[in-house]
Amino acid sequence: MSQLEIGVLYTVLALVLIGLRMPIGLSLGCVAVAGLAHMFNLDVAWGMISATPFDYVGQWELSAAPMFLLMGFICSKTEMTRGLFIALRVWLARLPGGLAVASVAACAFFAAAAGSSTATASAMSRIAVPEMLKNGYNRGLATGTIAASGTLGSLIPPSVLLILYGVYAEVSVGQLFMAGFLPGILSALIYMAMIVVRVKINPSLGGGAVVEVSAEERRQAYREIWPLPVLILSVLGGIFGGIFSPTEAGAIGAFVAILIATVQRRMTMARLLDAIVQAIIATGSIFIILIGSLFFTRFLALSGLPAAFADLILSVSSEPWWILLAVTVIYLILGMLIDSIGLLLLTIPLILPLVNEAGMDPVWFGIIVIKLLEIGLVTPPVGLNVYMIKSALGNEVTLKEVFRGVGWFVVMDFVTLLLLILVPAITLWLPTMAYR
């Protein structure tokens, strides 16, 4: 067999193993080692195993990921989002679907502190969904709002996916953070507009009545709103103001989150340890996928498959619109089967040669990819955020109700995606202003 044929064979094997629910990092790593042994010999495979993991995982930029995860878990364990949700609920109560609109806004704020879609969906599902159901909201709308809005954690900085894309594609993480800000806000605003229009047309979706807010609730809202905005300002303000780097911002954000929770008297040793353990587990899972994908990338490079794949796509057309269409189809299909981190790291070695050949801006393209990954987080059969909502709420809702509820949000995601493609300035304006 030729090296290219071996590359194709073992890539198909990796996809089959992932489809059989073998852990992605393990699937990619084992297939890469077996493929290298087949292509060359076991010594070559062993040389990659012994040298590659430490050299890659030891990169300074990757240290931001566990710190941002820790910050998000601290916010979640100490319920730092609850006060913000109450305030938004008060301010937006008179809008059609005001509770759902407030939930989208709260998810956007929490995403700016958590850096993780699943953490955002998990935290907000316990706070917002019961409140919406209590007020008679349609179950699909209530759960779909949180499942879809939780994906904002992939786009609004600081985002773990943006960090991984930046490190893997050798693109500035700071530029990616700035580039993701406006598209993330745009996504949230489009979600809100859709909710308002739908509930205006069909008031029964939002319980059929305006939610009344008491004077005591208003006073409480103003007392408890400050923690999350202060944390977000500390992190994003420091990054955008050039006070510290995105890597340093992770540690500063985790420290500020602990400080705020302590001031609120919500921080206990048990909660802190729980947040640390959860961050360690999440970081370990991500790094295992990283190492497995790195092995697989080296294997693919030696097989010549990325170049052959790029030539195949470019043989149809080298126009950017065709490459974007091909990439979109690939991500939409695989996004239904593979989780976002695994899919990002699996496909980047194949996709980047196309981006370079077409002369696309890698920062802009990175935001397009993250948006496509967001869609995969809520589409069946995997839909990781949907399962996160179901896990958090137990028997209160069914998977069918949640998947049905996210349908309108997926349509809005395509509207946002189209705007980002047609108007690159939405993505590139902030990075251009900051780095010119």
Per-residue pLDDT reduced to its tens digit, 122-166 = 778 878 888 888 888 888 999 999 989 988 888 888 888 898 898
Query: Is residue 393 included in any domain, yes or no?
Result: yes
Helical pair 173-201 and 246-263, crossing angle rounded to 10 deg: 50
Pair of tokens at residue 90? 């008060």
Judgement on whether residues 26 and 93 belong to the same structural domain of the protein? no
Q: Which long-range contacts (CB under 8 A, 24 or more apart) does 197-203 make?
A: 198/97, 198/141, 198/408, 199/96, 199/97, 199/100, 199/141, 200/96, 200/97, 203/96
Amino acid 41: pLDDT = 81
pLDDT value at position 221?
66
φ, ψ at 137 (rounded to 5°): -70, 150
User: Do residue 178 and residue 81 come from a single domain?
Assistant: yes
Instruction: Identify whether residues 180 and 246 lie together within a single domain.
Output: yes
Residues 66-73 have a mean pLDDT of 85
Angstrom distance (rounded) from CA 15 to CA 132: 39
Q: Between residues 173 and 426, which one has the greater pLDDT?
A: 426
Distance CA 361, CA 368 (A): 11
What is the number of domains present in the chain? Answer: 2
- Look at residue 419 and tell me whether its pLDDT is greater than 90: yes
Overall average pLDDT of the 18-47 stretch: 84
What local confidence, expressed as pLDDT, does residue 176 receive?
92
Residue 373 CB-half CA count within 13 A: 30
| Same domain, yes or no: 213 and 240 | yes
Residues 214, 255, single domain; the answer is yes
The reply to whether 336 and 353 lie within a common domain is yes
Q: What is the pLDDT of residue 130?
A: 86
The model carries a pTM of: 0.84
- pLDDT band of residue 72 (cuts 50, 70, 90) is confident
Considering 247, 277, 303, which residue would you say is the last residue of a domain? 303
Q: Is residue 285 classed exposed, middle or buried when 0-12, 13-18 and 19+ CB atoms within 10 A define those classes?
A: middle
31 and 89 share a domain?
no
Residue with tokens 């820790």: 70
Residue 281 domain-assigned (yes or no): no
- Predicted confidence band of residue 207 (pLDDT cuts 50, 70, 90): confident
Q: How far apart are CA 139 and CA 404, in angstroms?
A: 10
Residue whose tokens read 């594609």: 169
Q: Which of 54-58, 69-73, 185-189, 247-251 has the highest mean pLDDT?
A: 185-189
The tokens describing 266, both together, are 């919500």
Predicted pLDDT at 201: 92
Compute the distance between CA of residue 300 and CA of residue 35 in angstroms, rounded to an integer.
Answer: 9
pLDDT band at 276 (very low <50, low <70, confident <90, very high): very high
Whether the Cβ atoms of residue 64 and residue 186 lie closer than 8 Å to each other = no
Is there a domain that residue 272 lies in? no
- 225 and 352 belong to one structural domain: yes
Could you tell me if residue 93 is inside a domain?
A: yes
Residue at a domain's end among 279, 303, 327: 303
My answer on whether 151 and 31 are in the same domain is: no
Residue 357 covered by a domain? yes
**Cβ neighbours of residue 240 closer than 8 Å, sequence gap 6 or more:** 178, 434
Half-sphere exposure of 198 (CA within 13 A, CB side): 24
Same domain, residue pair 257 and 185:
yes
Does 366 have pLDDT greater than 80? yes
Beta bridge partners of 194: none
Does the bond joining 229 to the residue before it have cis omega, within 30 degrees of 0? no
Query: Average of pLDDT values for 53-76?
Result: 79
32 located within any domain: yes
Q: Indicate if the pLDDT at residue 427 is higher than 90.
A: yes
Say if residue 32 is in the same domain as residue 157: no
Same structural domain, 408 and 334: yes
Q: Is a pLDDT exceeding 70 seen at residue 376?
A: yes
Domain with 77, as residue range(s), is 59-267+304-435
Phi-psi region of 323 (alpha: psi -120 to 50; beta: other; left: phi over 0): alpha
Least confident of 49-63, 207-221, 235-249: 207-221
Is the bond leading into 431 cis (omega within 30 degrees of zero)?
no
* 121 belongs to a structural domain: yes
Residue 186 tokens, joined: 């745009």
Residue 276 lies in a domain: no
The model's confidence at residue 378, banded by pLDDT at 50, 70 and 90, is confident
Rounded CA-CA distance 124/107 in Å is: 7
